[in-house]
Amino acid sequence: MAKETTLILFKPDTIEKNLSGKVLERFLSQDLIIRGIKMMPLSEELLAEHYSHVADKPFFPEIVGFMSKTPVIALALEGEDAIARVRDLLGPTDSTKAAPGTLRGDFGDTMMINVCHASDSPESAQAELKRFFKEDEIFTY
């Protein structure tokens, strides 16, 4: 297993339901280490870049509306095989198909209202971390 850093975004449903502490604790209980954390609003420009892979889909405006509804919490987490472990802890993207015990199974509602976004590969993690964090906002110690 390789040590990795991955990006997680606590989505507006997590913020509105005041679940940020519970969700963060679940990640930290898996020996993942915070390397960066901040709360931030997402601009239309940032969302267009982040979701460029679905910008031509009819549901794109709904994603932009949802993700700009509240600020999000951006989190850089590090650990052994962090990307796969975070995604396993979250469960499938569609919360209605997520098993109890996963974050989406316990707290999610739908395909979009699903607690968190998480990087799906080392390449996307690297790009997404740069998108949401400046170089001096991710720490090692």
Ordered strands of the 33-40 beta sheet: 33-40, 72-80, 3-10, 116-118
Separation CA 53–CA 51 (nearest Å): 5
Active-site option among 11, 85, 87, 117: 117
C-alpha angle 6-9-10 in degrees, rounded to nearest 5: 135
Q: Alpha helix locations (H) across the chain?
A: 12-16, 20-28, 44-50, 60-67, 82-90, 103-107, 122-132
Contact of 31 with 79, CB cutoff 8 Å: yes
Active site residue 50: no
C-alpha angle 9-70-102 in degrees, rounded to nearest 5: 40
- Which positions are catalytic? 117
